[in-house]
Structure 1
């Protein structure tokens, strides 16, 4: 969408503009995290990390929370395991199930994510100005609550 002109962007339905802004915010946050030492993390890995319980979570539960298939979640988990962000262990009572937990590196990523998101918020405040950003937040809150 970045190759669209300003007029073409203005003509898009509001939902598409909100989605574009969301994608920009995600990409900016991820870029900050990648620059801080998490170079192998992709946007697709985020639903794994954000849906994990502290004591660990079964792959089937992760998939349900993220709204994806068990097979896709399993693939993402395997990728994160290969790069050191999660570990797998058998479920204590269900021998067919696997429980996913964060490694120290995964915990560091999860702890650094809010810092990156706050930095993106500051970038948006600089782009829009504090007053316009506050107005945008209020408008998005009203839309979210409607």
Structure 2
């Protein structure tokens, strides 16, 4: 995944190392989802799909949740519309606003995600061993809750 050697990775600040691990987990999850029939989905699409409410979300709210500009959210929504994962319509309460919602294909994607992430967890357990993975998970919980 990384062009860095294990020694170079060990020398990184913890935050950078956590980021590298996060990227690896994301890429592995995406690969599992792509193998389940979602081959067109890219990592950049995930913040849009995962931040939609069941009844739909305004693009401005979606952009804020995803931490991106409205223009970028709009571009990604258009890509996902072409791929069949979302649909968009004018907000009936505000004709200037656009509401984005998951299609059946988008709902299927979200339904496939937990199994894909569980497989990645299994891959990490095979790599580290169950006990070490449990310790890592507990350490990460402590880091994120203090």
- Pairs aligned (count): 146
Whole-angstrom CA distance in 2 between matches of 1:6 and 1:84 = 40
**Aligned equivalent of 1:47:** 47
* Aligned-pair CA distance for 1:77: 0.2
1:107 is aligned to: 107
Q: Which residue of the partner structure matches residue 145 of structure 1?
A: 145
Query: What is the RMSD computed on CA atoms of the aligned residues?
Result: 0.8
Partner residue of 1:131? 131
Q: Distance in 2 between matches of 1:6 and 1:99?
A: 46
User: Unaligned regions of 5+ residues in structure 1, if any?
Assistant: none
Residues 9-20 of structure 1 mapped to structure 2, 5 A cutoff: 9-20=9-20
Unaligned stretches of 5+ residues in structure 2: none
Q: Runs ≥4 in structure 1, deviation > 6 angstroms? A: none
Q: CA-to-partner distance for each residue in 1:36-84, whole Å, 9 max, x for gaps?
A: 1000000000011100000000000000001110000000000000010
Q: What TM-score results when the alignment is normalised by the length of structure 2?
A: 0.98
Which secondary structure state, in structure 1, belongs to the residue aligned with residue 112 of structure 2? helix
Deviation at 1:126, TM superposition (A): 0.5
